[in-house]
Amino acid sequence: MAELFMKQMVEEILARDQEKDDERKKQATNSPQAPIHSPPSSTPLVPTGIRRPNYQREQQQKRLSPLYQKSSLKDEASHKNEGGNKEKKHPDWEIGEKEANSHRESVSMQRLSLSQAHGLSTARRRQRPERIGRLRNGVEIWFFAGLHPRVAQALQVSGTTCTAVGIITCPAPLKGPVFSAAMLLEDQPEIEREILTGAEGIQLRLGGDDPDHLRTLLRELFMRLNRAGLKRVSIHFSKQPTSLLEKVLPAGEQGAAVLFEGMSEGECWAMLQRGWETIPDSDLHFRVDQSALLLRGDLGVIESVIKVIQREIDSLG
């Protein structure tokens, strides 16, 4: 039964489709049709009246156009400005920026000129006489450089006109600074030196052609004298006095020398008595000059006396 039913349904569907095809054919026969010319099968069907542009040729002509070139340059510049996060500057801004740059350059040149002028003024200040320092006992150290020719001639050192001159003045009867200066100058043969003595004291002149080096030596001398002056009694010792030091020591004596400065005359005699008690048979030369005690003799004897007197000075405070 089922197979018969399905067969009937298929036949009915086919019959209805046949009827629809017959009706289409009748309609086509009754309506007028325009003649159709079929082109050869090898030629593709192209609608008439439609223009096919040649894009490559148009782009080439467009690139050659002056208007396009100008527009392209503007677009390229705009793209670069956008890529660098920079805005296109107005011509007036560019002029203002140039003026600002010019002003900055002018200010820089002015600062450079002021700096150079400051350097020159500093150099001139260094050429002026300079007092290195003054001690409590009245000793002064001066430095001179860039001297006037006539002043340089007057401040000759051992008959030599020097580029730079140092002067150490020691009021009488001080001789300790000469001990310190002689020790400092032992390895300075290029430094000229001269001692001038008088009733008011001693003047030591040093000269050289290197102002900076001479200034350094004078400052070192001042520091040594300042340290020695911090004590109530300063002790100056030389194992073998140089020719410079011999000029302030008593003539005819030899050997090591020691100078005690800052004691009263009574203290000087007391210290001398203590030294003789310690070394009774020693060949010791002495001189008491106001507030100073000078001893000279064999190196061993002098070193022993220094220890004895040093203990006595410390005990007295």
CATH architecture for segment(s) 232-317: 2-Layer Sandwich (3.30)
pLDDT at 144: 95
| CB neighbourhood size of 91 (10 A) | 7
pLDDT at 27: 66
Q: Which residues of the chain have pLDDT under 70?
A: 1-10, 14, 17-18, 20-21, 23, 25-126, 317
Mean pLDDT of the chain: 77
Q: What is the pTM of this model?
A: 0.59
Establish whether domains 127-230 and 232-317 are of one fold.
Answer: yes
Q: What is the pLDDT of residues 198-220, one digit of tens each?
A: 888 999 999 999 999 999 999 99
Domain range annotation of the chain:
127-230, 232-317
CATH class of 127-230: alpha beta
Helix-helix angle 176-184:211-229, to 10 degrees: 140
